[in-house]
Amino acid sequence: MGSYGMLARRVVQTETPVMVQIQELIRGSKDVMSLAQGVVHWLPPKPALEKVKEIVWEPSVSRYGADEGLPELREALVKKLREENQLCKSSVMVTAGANQAFVNIVLTLCDAGDSVVMFAPYYFNAYMSFQMTGVTNILVGPGNPETLHPDADWLKRILQETKPTPKLVTVVNPGNPSGTYIPDALLKRLSDICRDAGSWLLVDNTYEYFMFDGRKHSCVEGNHIVNIFSFSKAYGMMGWRVGYIAYPSEVEGFAAQLLKVQDNIPICASIISQRLALFSLEVGPEWVTDQVKELVKNRTIIQEALAPLGEGAVKGGEGAIYLWAKLPEKHTEDFEVVRWLARKHGVVLIPGSACGCPGHVRISFGGLLENDCLLASKRLKKGLEELVTSGMLE
Ligand SMILES: Cc1ncc(COP(=O)(O)O)c(C=O)c1O
């Protein structure tokens, strides 16, 4: 077309999805290994997949279902939320993944022009969801330089000082891209600050089961809190597209407004995918934690590969599937480093600038089996050693 004149400014001014750029980079490179995309290497539980095979001919699978989700899946999720997450006053809507859940919530709670709060480094898709719905006043708060935890004192001040008060604050726990988890006391403090200011708190719990070294994930609940969850990583169901929203049952009108959004995007999440989600829940969370346990080996392998960056450069990895690393001072052009690592060393990472932090990279350790992870880590280590000693020579 040659001109952006006819396209919506909301979308034109939204960032280009970093994953799309990375996929192009992978397609354009020879023999690259990806430590970029946030994926896991396992498939859904076998018994659950076997059961799905049996139901493809059931007419209900090919019809629309209830907008909110299959009643039996929602019932199972309410039980799961109560027993595992101690969320007892939450209602459930099933969505086509946690990303759609996030967009549903932004459309339900925010008006174009509202201000919202995130913390650096932030999850790129969340940032884009705000941008493309017209919520362009995105205040990005600092993380603690050591722990990367959201800075609660900054939040308290900014919610008091900004007029009108920011509508919504969002955090990911444990974090993408940081791989750090938010300790229970800090999460409660963030919740109290939001409640006192009259802001919503939206917590993305996509990696709730991805906790290492004995740490425990926790949730907060309240009439100002929305939690979102995903089946994608936990049950290896990325392509099946199932997530869900736990929203406060007591807030009048919430369900009715949320339903309008849902009815105009997926109508309902794919029925066969919802059935697989239900069969997977029947297999149980122990199955997930068994898969997650094994990832510690990959984390160690990648930590070792990042050693050339020096002490203090690598953070995260307490939860989720990510490590977060600072590049040497003179390499703030992180996308250049990512392209060079792909071209010269055959390994792909995510540039930190996509998460609001130039000069950093995100490394995912969930997508490769141990042997492939070892191979990718050797390439990464060699590349980083070269970067540190001689820079990007060719
Ligand atoms: C924090 C976070 N939220 C949401 C998503 C998207 O998950 P889903 O596949 O359920 O849409 C991801 C995927 O990487 C994620 O890391």
Helices (H), the chain: 9-12, 18-27, 46-54, 59-62, 71-85, 98-109, 124-132, 152-161, 184-197, 254-264, 271-283, 285-305, 334-340, 370-390
Cβ-proximal residues to 118 (8 Å cutoff; 6+ apart), any chain: 126, 127, 130, 138, 139, 140, 141, 169, 170, 171, 356
Distance 17 CA to ligand 1 centre (A): 13
For residue 280 and ligand 1, the question of a CB distance below 6 A is answered with no
By C-alpha distance, which of 355, 254, 275 is closest to 72? 275
In testing the pocket of ligand 1, which one of 232, 265, 273 has its CB within 8 Å of the most ligand atoms? 232
CB burial readout 309-341, b (16+ within 10 A) else e: beeebbbbbbbbbbbbbbbbeebebbbebbbbb
Answer whether 243 contacts ligand 1 (Cβ < 6 A): yes
Nearest to 201 by CA among 214, 175, 185, 219: 219
Q: What is the pLDDT of residues 255-302, one digit of tens each?
A: 999 999 999 999 999 999 999 999 999 999 999 999 999 999 999 999
CB atoms within 10 A of CB 195: 16
Length of the chain: 394
pLDDT in tens, 13-63: 999 999 999 999 999 988 999 999 999 999 999 999 999 999 999 999 999
Structural domains of the chain ordered from first start: 9-43+286-387 (3.90.1150.10), 46-283 (3.40.640.10)
The pLDDT tens digits of the residues spanning 208-265 come to: 999 999 999 999 999 999 999 999 999 999 999 999 999 999 999 999 999 999 999 9
Rounded CA-CA distance 247/5 in Å is 39
In this structure, the residue with its CA closest to atom 14 of ligand 1 is 38
178 C-beta closer than 6 A to ligand 1: no
Helix (H/G/I), strand (E/B), else coil: 391: coil
Q: Is residue 204 lining ligand 1, measured as CB closer than 6 Å?
A: yes
- For residue 173 and ligand 1, the question of a CB distance below 6 A is answered with no
Q: 19 CB less than 6 Å from ligand 1? A: no
Measured in angstroms, how far is the CA atom of residue 329 from the centroid of ligand 1?
Answer: 30
Using the predicted structure, report yes or no on whether residue 73 has a pLDDT greater than 70: yes
pTM of the model: 0.97
- Residue 2: the pLDDT is 60
What is d(CA 393, CA 115) in angstroms, rounded to the nearest whole number?
A: 43
Q: Give the helix/strand (H/E) hosting 359.
A: none
Mean pLDDT value across residues 200-211: 98
d(CA 301, CA 370): 9
Helix intervals (H) in 65-198: 71-85, 98-109, 124-132, 152-161, 184-197
Does 238 sit in the ligand 1 pocket, CB within 6 Å?
yes
Sign of the Cα torsion 119, 186, 101, 231 reads positive
